């Protein structure tokens, strides 16, 4: 794996999988895993997230993006269960916009910290000028 990889964590399996499908079209050279839902229901699952991280873990690094608060808790638990992977960062970014930017930056071969900074900057995006 020559690029930073991404893990998408959502309370909805459909949201995570749909976003993954979108990003694979934007950045086909970036490995992306979706960890959505909890055994067919709404929620998140630390074991599922851990498996997703391990499935795309890259020597260049991995960025984990999440939708809501408890997804963060399970992502942190997943990292602990995976042995605290040194090159994995949980980004404080909006899921859709942040993941899109992360995919583009990773696809351009940017290093882990630049990918994280770029996707976290998505919090500042103004969609409608008032």
Question: How many helices (H) and strands (E) are present in the chain, helices listed first?
Answer: 5, 4
Tokens of 126: 């103004």
Rounded Cα gap, residues 105 and 27, in angstroms: 9
Is 127 strand, coil or helix?
Answer: coil
Tokens of 48: 């599922």
Q: How far apart are CA 27 and CA 30, in angstroms?
A: 6
Q: 3, 11, 20, 48: which is the annotated catalytic residue?
A: 11
Q: How wide is the angle at C-alpha 125 spanned by C-alphas 123 and 130, nearest 5°?
A: 125
Catalytic residue list contains 11? yes
For the annotated catalytic residues, the residue numbers are 11
């Amino acid at each position: 794996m020559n690029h930073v990889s991404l893990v998408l964590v959502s309370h909805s399996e459909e949201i995570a999988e749909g976003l993954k499908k979108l990003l694979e079209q934007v950045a086909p050279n970036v490995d992306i895993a979706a960890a959505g839902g909890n055994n067919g229901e709404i929620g998140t699952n630390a074991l599922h997230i851990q498996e997703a991280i391990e499935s795309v873990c890259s020597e260049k690094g991995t960025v984990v993006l999440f939708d809501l608060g408890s997804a963060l808790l399970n992502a942190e638990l997943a990292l602990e269960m995976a042995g605290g992977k040194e090159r994995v960062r949980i980004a404080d970014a909006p899921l859709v916009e942040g993941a899109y930017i992360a995919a583009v930056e990773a696809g351009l071969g940017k290093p882990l910290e630049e990918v994280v900074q770029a996707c976290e900057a998505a919090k500042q995006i103004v969609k409608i000028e008032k």
